[in-house]
Amino acid sequence: MRAPTPTRATFSERLWKAWDSDVAYSFRHSPVAILATLVALILLLSAVLAPWIAPQNAFDAASLNLMEGFTKPGEASPITGKVFWLGTDSQGRDVFSAILYGSRISLLVGFASVIFSVAIGVSLGLLAGYTGGRTDALIMRVADIQLSFPAILIALLVFGVARGLIAPQYHEQAAVAVLIVAIGLSNWASYARTVRGSTLVEKNKDYVMSARVMGRSPLAIMGRHVLPNVTGPVLVIATINLALAIIAESTLSFLGVGVPPTQASLGTLIRIGQQFLFSGEWWILFYPALDLVLLALSINLLGDWLRDALNPKLR
């Protein structure tokens, strides 16, 4: 006779379980976490919905009116009489729209590079921890080297090498992808270290033994059995690294080696705005910078909260 299959929880039951969990409790009782989530969500949504909520398509030259250049924030343009909340830049581009479109690129590069480094870091960490021996020593040595060199330097080197390998006419199209790879490759080691550590603990447990006795392949054991049990800390590192990746992207774009001005990210906008700082047009730089700082800070605070909430020792 077969054992009765456990009935699946209905959606509302699962929702209640999630609401009732420890993590949700700690979330409801942390004003900082709620505020940070709110800010991050607003920034994220406004970036995703940019084409629908932005007053103008910021990077379509046809929608810009040169006559409206350098309009001060909140004031009507002296020539056309249009009001721009956050002002306009030298070409009459609405700073608010530019920020919405710019944070799209920043967030895209941030999320994609974190996913990329999680994929590399987690698989290398699993491999190192599960197989051990020489593979382990080699992978961890490379990870040590990555961790001892500053991430920004590695990202710049990867970027330069990638540019050398890609034909010049494709540089602009490939810029975002190259940026994702460069930032992703400079951040995988922390995941690899953590996952390797937890894998070393997990691999001697009985369920892994039994899977091995049942003749499952090492790949299946790593992927189906060990992996689900080592992902907890990865989420925390990924959240904090998301803020770091967004800052790294804006730094590279600020240095002029990131995305081209036709796909301006927040860093590019800050780079452009810096030129106008001396002539008194502070808003072209200030609002993108504010958006970047709020984004990085709220994600950082969220990461800090998550780390404490998932750490059973602090409960």
Partner 1 sequence: MIAYILRSLAQAVMVMLAVALLAFSMFRFVGDPVANMVGQEASVKEREELAERLGLNKPFPIQFANYVTDMARGEFGMSYRQGRPVADLLRERAPATIELAFLSSLFALVFGIALGVYAAINRRGILANLAMSISLIGVSLPTFLIGIGMIYLFAVELRWLPSFGRGDVVRLGWWSTGLLTESGRKSLIMPVLTLGLFQMTLIMRLVRAEMLEALRTDYVKFARARGIPERAISFRHALRNTMIPVVTIAGLQFGAVIAFAIVTETVFQWPGLGALFIQAVQYVDIPVMAAYLMFVAFVFVVVNLAVDLIYFAVDPRLRGTTVAAK
* Residue 10 Cβ vs partner 1, minimum distance, rounded to whole Å: 42
* Residue 294 Cβ vs partner 1, minimum distance, rounded to whole Å: 11
By CB under 8 A, tell whether 254 contacts partner 1.
Answer: yes
By CB under 8 A, tell whether 169 contacts partner 1.
Answer: no
By CB under 8 A, tell whether 239 contacts partner 1.
Answer: no
* DSSP for the chain, written as a single string: -PPPPPPPPPHHHHHHHHHHSHHHHHHHT-HHHHHHHHHHHHHHHHHHTHHHH-SS-TT-GGG--GGGTTPPTTSB-TTT--B-TT-B-TT--BHHHHHHHHHHHHHHHHHHHHHHHHHHHHHHHHHHHHH-HHHHHHHHHHHHHHHHS-HHHHHHHHHHHHHHHS-GGGHHHHHHHHHHHHHHHTS-HHHHHHHHHHHHHHTTSHHHHHHHHTT--HHHIIIIIIHHHH-HHHHHHHHHHHHHHHHHHHHHHHTT-SS-GGG--HHHHHHHHHTTTTTT-THHHHHHHHHHHHHHHHHHHHHHHHHHHH-GGG-
Q: How many CA atoms lie within 13 A of 132 on its CB side?
A: 6
By CB under 8 A, tell whether 257 contacts partner 1.
Answer: yes
Among 180, 247, 259, 269, binds partner 1 (CB under 8 A): 247
Closer residue to partner 1 (CB): 274 or 311: 274
Closer residue to partner 1 (CB): 64 or 178: 178
Among 297, 307, 308, 310, binds partner 1 (CB under 8 A): 297
Among 61, 62, 169, 278, binds partner 1 (CB under 8 A): 278
Closer residue to partner 1 (CB): 241 or 251: 251
By CB under 8 A, tell whether 173 contacts partner 1.
Answer: no
By CB under 8 A, tell whether 3 contacts partner 1.
Answer: no
Closer residue to partner 1 (CB): 64 or 151: 151
| Residue 176 in tokens | 């975002």
By CB under 8 A, tell whether 160 contacts partner 1.
Answer: yes
φ/ψ of 10, rounded to 5, equals -70, 170
Contact indicator for 106, 115 with CB cutoff of 8 Å: no
Contact indicator for 185, 117 with CB cutoff of 8 Å: yes
By CB under 8 A, tell whether 15 contacts partner 1.
Answer: no
Among 119, 136, 127, which residue's Cα sits nearest to residue 218? Answer: 127
* Residue 255 Cβ vs partner 1, minimum distance, rounded to whole Å: 5
Closer residue to partner 1 (CB): 82 or 163: 163
Closer residue to partner 1 (CB): 157 or 227: 157
Closer residue to partner 1 (CB): 112 or 296: 296
Among 5, 148, 169, 204, binds partner 1 (CB under 8 A): 148
By CB under 8 A, tell whether 262 contacts partner 1.
Answer: no
Among 292, 302, 306, 309, binds partner 1 (CB under 8 A): 292
By CB under 8 A, tell whether 256 contacts partner 1.
Answer: yes
Residues forming the site for partner 1 (CB under 8 A)? 148-150, 152-153, 156-157, 159-161, 163-165, 243, 247, 250-251, 254-257, 270, 274, 277-278, 282, 285, 289, 292-293, 296-297, 300
